[in-house]
Amino acid sequence: MASGYLITGGLHFDGLMDTFDGIFAGKKKRLKAMKDSKVGSFGVQALVFITLIQIACILKIQNLIFFVLPICLFWGRFSNLFFIEKFKYISYKKKSISHKKFWNGFKKESLISIIFLLIFIAYQLVSITSQAILIRFLILILIGIFISYSMPNILGEKMGGFNGDACGASVVLVETAMLFMHAILL
């Protein structure tokens, strides 16, 4: 977990905290709360709960973390492709660069990710020897698709669009949900 914080500079968790502060500030104050450099109580609660859930999942998964973590990280980042495709960009800055400025559409943007996912699935189908493990693996792939599609939809509807903070929140929430699902099913 600490390596994730160090690699991203805590960027996704900052987005999680700002998004929760914004959602619970209400529709009229949402963007103002997200812009505020101070973290509110809902942001702190979100960080604490998500961190505790992730720690519990990692303790449950243990040695399989090297197999599970890349899958969780993949779905977390893939979720933003759905976010950007479906929702308009909202900002509290007048001159803000939108993720949509260079957007080429979901098909083009997701092509390489889908190719890597298919290669990974093919490798697993060939290397998994137990039918029970294969079924769990396929169920987790379907759950990953569902969660990485649903989470940005929930956040986007609640926020009325997306921004960098909401994208960071989506990454963290999808990763955590996938860690949780792996902890339950493995």
Per-residue model confidence as pLDDT tens digits over 129-149: 888 888 888 899 999 999 999
| pLDDT band, residue 99 (cuts 50/70/90) | low
The pLDDT score that the predictor gives to residue 96 is 57
Residue with tokens 């905290």: 17
Q: What is the pLDDT of residue 184?
A: 93
For residues 99 and 164, the model is more confident at 164
User: What pLDDT score was predicted for residue 93?
Assistant: 66
Reported as a single tens digit per residue, the pLDDT across 81-94 is 998 999 988 876 66
CA atoms within 13 A on the CB side of 21: 21
Q: For the chain, how many structural domains are there in total? A: 1
Confirm if 130 and 150 have CB atoms less than 8 A apart: no
Q: Where are the alpha helices (DSSP H) in the chain?
A: 2-8, 11-25, 30-35, 41-61, 65-86, 106-127, 131-159, 164-185
In the numeric block, which tokens belong to residue 178? 């996938």
Range of the domain at 99: 2-185
pTM here?
0.90
Distance CA 83, CA 171 (A): 11
Q: Is there a contact between 111 and 179 (Cβ–Cβ < 8 Å)?
A: no
